Amino acid sequence: MSGAGLSVTKVFTFDAAHQLPNHPGKCRRLHGHTYRLEVTVAAELDAKTGMVLDFYDLSSVVKEKVLSRLDHRYLNDFVENSTAENLCLWIARELTELPLQQIRLWETPTSCATLRL
């Protein structure tokens, strides 16, 4: 087996506030969430390390490029219409140095948006 098709996922959480200016209901008003972010990367297995990507390295990039900017912030400062879907797109643009396969952003324990790359 070559290790083709392998991926690894790291899970993060952050707290932030936002409002959805185009929403017809209560989400139009300012409110907050504890977001759960899942970042999945895929690559060939490195024969020397036995890894797709070291979890520490993945974590370091996500913390620097995304969490340090979004945690305890007003998300509309980054994405005007800060839906979970639009936030997935923004996050993917910030993580271009990673071999991204998927971004999944949970806004609540039962609601998420998924971007497959």
Question: Where are the domains positioned within the chain?
Answer: 7-116
Residue 69: pLDDT over 50: yes
Architecture of the 7-116 domain: 2-Layer Sandwich (3.30)
| Residue-wise pLDDT tens digits, 28-37 | 999 999 999 9
Which residue out of 33, 72, 85, 94 is catalytically annotated? Answer: 72
Q: What is the pLDDT of residue 1?
A: 46
Q: Could you give the percent of the chain with pLDDT greater than 90?
A: 96
Sole residue written with tokens 């098709």: 5
- pTM, 2 dp: 0.93
Specify whether 31 is catalytic.
no
pLDDT band at 57 (very low <50, low <70, confident <90, very high): very high
Which residue out of 27, 38, 94, 112 is catalytically annotated? Answer: 27
Mean pLDDT of 50-65: 97
Mean pLDDT of 53-64: 98
